[in-house]
Amino acid sequence: MLAQEIIRAKRDGHTLSEPQIQHFVRGLVDGSWSEGQVAALGMAVFLRGMGRDEAVALTRAMMHSGRVLAWPDMPGPVLDKHSSGGVGDKVSLMLAPMVAACGGYVPMIAGRGLGHTGGTVDKLEAIPGYNTMPAPADFDRLVRRLGCAVIGQTGDLAPADKRFYACRDVTATVESVPLITASILSKKLAAGLQVLAMDIKCGNGAFADTPAFAQELAESIVSVAGGAGLKTRALITDMNQVLGYEVGNALEIHETLDYLTGKRVEPRLHEVTLALAAEMLVLGGLAADNGAARAKLQAGLDSGAAAEKFAQMVAALGGPADLLERPQQYLTPAPVVLPVPAPRDGVLSAMKTREIGLIIVEMGGGRRQAGDAIDFRVGLSEVRHLGSSFKAGETMALVHAADEASAARAVAAYQAACTLGEAYVPTPIVMATVG
């Protein structure tokens, strides 16, 4: 079987067979497909698309390109959640211990920041000592003992996807629905899941920037996951503004702790977290319906059980045992904190959310290149949301920066990213459910 003939078939709009797809995936792993051939097939799929059966075959082949986890004799359902990425999205950090407190088992293999979006693994590494790359046997043991562990992706899970994505990233073929679908699901299937809740972010701070694209992606993921034997439901959620009060790695850990302990709960963040976690409990057979699931999750928060799960997970993975009680001792603050003053009177009617995410990157809280070190201290706090009214000079957010110059640039950029108008019509945080 020749690589160029497989490329030709897709270029001409034909359906690829399972053997052809398996040949391609083997070539990704063993190097028998060159970078040019991988790029050519990626572009052919980008332009010609893939049917459901092709996407299922690609997902399965990439899933089996490396180690596949199994959870035999688990006393409860193995559940997970994945987000397509947003600004201020720390839902995974809250959801995993909440679901564990309700009897689920969450082996969450999370990612790092990508472009303007923050990464769960980067946020956890703001906690001193937290090991995001434990040995496989330790990961297995922790999930079984605690009910949840959130770690980084290892190189032996779906290695074909890692090479294919790196090629797509530099050849303008990332925004292909079947390829995004296969990339996400191959890693989740390799983690041995029984249930997946997908959070498809939609808006100016998301990769899916239109409702039509978000709907197409959600339907593709639910359909292909079903074809691969994974029970999945997708929620399309609003990302036209920052999620929560804090943005930036250490600051989002602070907000996570405040949320889990009930000290401060931002309503939109709470609704997204509850909605996704409830889908996991219902699909996993831990609750009869959405209402019962929400009540169970809220009880886990109110009792302190979810916060205790998070604290146990942090300690078990090398972090401080008293993070919950003394976060200020471990989460180093930025040396410069400046308010962002409202330039005039008005109602916050729009937010360029992607630009706000890039402010964090510019301050050093994200990566320009893959190997860049991250300044965990920098970010934004006290973020006011759409619909907030301001008088000129009133604080719209606080900038946390490494020095005065970068703080001043961030203040100006934040002001430029916000529109003060006459009014704001609110939109629901959960825009649609698929599956």
For 38-64, the pLDDT digits (tens) are 999 999 999 999 999 999 999 999 999
- Catalytic site includes residue 145: no
Of residues 10, 60, 188, 254, which has the active-site annotation?
A: 188
Q: What is the mean pLDDT of residues 265-269?
A: 97
In tens, the pLDDT along 146-199 reads 999 999 988 888 999 989 988 997 898 988 999 999 999 999 999 999 999 999
Secondary-structure class of domain 3-63 per CATH? mainly alpha
Answer for the pair 342, 394: CB distance below 8 angstroms, yes or no: yes
Can you give the pLDDT at residue 396?
98
Has residue 112 got a pLDDT over 80? no
Answer for the pair 208, 200: CB distance below 8 angstroms, yes or no: yes
Of residues 116, 168, 201, 377, which has the active-site annotation?
A: 168
- Catalytic site includes residue 83: yes
Has residue 114 got a pLDDT over 70? no
Can you give the pLDDT at residue 207?
86
- Catalytic site includes residue 187: yes
Across the chain, mean pLDDT equals 95
In tens, the pLDDT along 315-366 reads 999 999 999 999 999 999 999 999 999 999 999 999 999 999 999 999 999 8
Q: What is the mean pLDDT of residues 277-287?
A: 98
Q: CA-CA distances (angstroms) from residue 156 to 78, 153, 163, 346?
A: 20, 8, 12, 52
Answer for the pair 3, 28: CB distance below 8 angstroms, yes or no: no
DSSP secondary structure letter of residue 112: -
- Catalytic site includes residue 120: yes
Of residues 10, 80, 296, 309, which has the active-site annotation?
A: 80
At 2, the pLDDT band (50, 70, 90 cuts) reads very high
Of residues 59, 65, 92, 120, which has the active-site annotation?
A: 120
Q: What is the mean pLDDT of residues 402-424?
A: 97
Q: Is 67 exposed, middle or buried (0-12, 13-18, 19+ CB in 10 A)?
A: middle
Q: What is the mean pLDDT of residues 364-369?
A: 80
Can you give the pLDDT at residue 110?
87
* CA distance from start to end of the chain: 37
Answer for the pair 359, 400: CB distance below 8 angstroms, yes or no: no
In tens, the pLDDT along 209-266 reads 999 999 999 999 999 999 999 999 999 999 999 999 999 999 999 999 999 999 999 9
Can you give the pLDDT at residue 290?
97
- Catalytic site includes residue 162: no
- Catalytic site includes residue 183: yes
Q: How do the domains of the chain map onto residue ranges? A: 3-63, 79-316, 332-421
Q: How many CB atoms lie within 10 A of CB 139?
A: 18
- Catalytic site includes residue 349: no
Of residues 183, 237, 256, 381, which has the active-site annotation?
A: 183
Angle 157-162-166 from CA coordinates, rounded to 5°: 170
At 113, the pLDDT band (50, 70, 90 cuts) reads low
Can you give the pLDDT at residue 400?
98
| Assigned architecture for domain 79-316 | 3-Layer(aba) Sandwich (3.40)
In tens, the pLDDT along 9-43 reads 999 999 999 999 999 999 999 999 999 999 999 99
- The CATH code that applies to domain 332-421 is 3.90.1170.30
Of residues 347 and 367, the one with the higher pLDDT is: 347
Of residues 90, 162, 187, 384, which has the active-site annotation?
A: 187
Answer for the pair 94, 256: CB distance below 8 angstroms, yes or no: yes
Has residue 289 got a pLDDT over 80? yes
Of residues 10, 23, 60, 82, which has the active-site annotation?
A: 82
DSSP string for 19-69: HHHHHHHHHHHHS-S-HHHHHHHHHHHHHH---HHHHHHHHHHHHTTS---
Place of tokens 């472009």: 115
144: helix, coil or strand?
A: helix
Answer for the pair 65, 159: CB distance below 8 angstroms, yes or no: yes
